[in-house]
Amino acid sequence: MSITKETVLQFIKFGFVGAANTLISYATYALLVYFGTPYIIASICGFIVSTFNAFFWNNVFVFKKQKDEKRNLWKALVKTFLSYAGTSLVLNNILLAFFVEILHISKYIAPLISLVITIPLNFLLNKFWSFKGEKTE
C-alpha cells in the first residue's frame, strides 16, 4: 500500500475533524464526570455524541463521495458506529480503566493519552471500510 497525496490530505482533514470531535467528546465526558456520572458511563455518552458528529463531518469533508462512487449513507453510518465502537468505545474504555485503575493516571488525563492509539486506528477503519464506496460503471 502506497501513501498518496490524497491519503495525506485526508489524514490532515481527519485530524481537524478529530480535534473538534475530541473536544466534543471530552467536554461531554468531563461535564458528566463533574456532575457525578461514573467515568465509564460518561465515556459512553461522549462516544455517542462524538460519533454522530464524526460521521457527519467525515462524510461531507474528509471522505467525500467521488463522482463515480455509489455510497449508502445508512451502511456508512452503521460501519462508522462499529469502527468507532471498536476503537473509541471498547479499546478506549479498556485503556481508560487501565490508565485510571492500574496506573493511577487522572481520569481527566487518561482519555487524552488513549488518543495516540485510537486516532490512527479510526482513520484506517474509516478510510478503508466505513466510507469505502462502490465504483459505478
The 10s digit of each residue's pLDDT in 38-54 is: 988 998 899 889 888 98
Q: What is the pLDDT of residues 84-132, one digit of tens each?
A: 787 777 888 899 999 999 999 998 899 889 888 888 888 888 778 877 7
Q: Which residue has the higher pLDDT, 34 or 80?
A: 34
| pLDDT at residue 1 tops 60 | no
Integer Rg of the chain from CA: 16
Look at residue 135 in the predicted model and tell me its pLDDT: 59
In a domain, 58, yes or no: yes
CB 60 within 8 A of CB 13: no
Instruction: Please tell me the pTM assigned to this model.
Output: 0.67
pLDDT (0 to 100) of residue 101: 95
Domain presence at residue 15? yes
Q: How far apart are CA 43 and CA 22, in angstroms?
A: 12
pLDDT for res 129: 80
Q: Does the residue 110 lie in any domain?
A: yes
How many domains does the chain divide into? 1
- At how many degrees (to 10) do helices 39-57 and 73-84 cross? 150
Look at residue 59 and give its three-state secondary structure: helix
The residue range of the domain holding 107 is: 5-64+73-132
In a domain, 111, yes or no: yes
Residue 30 lies in a domain: yes
Q: Is residue 137 a part of any domain in this protein? A: no
Q: Which of 8, 121, 13 is nearest to 61 (CA)?
A: 13
Sign of CA dihedral 57, 62, 68, 73: negative
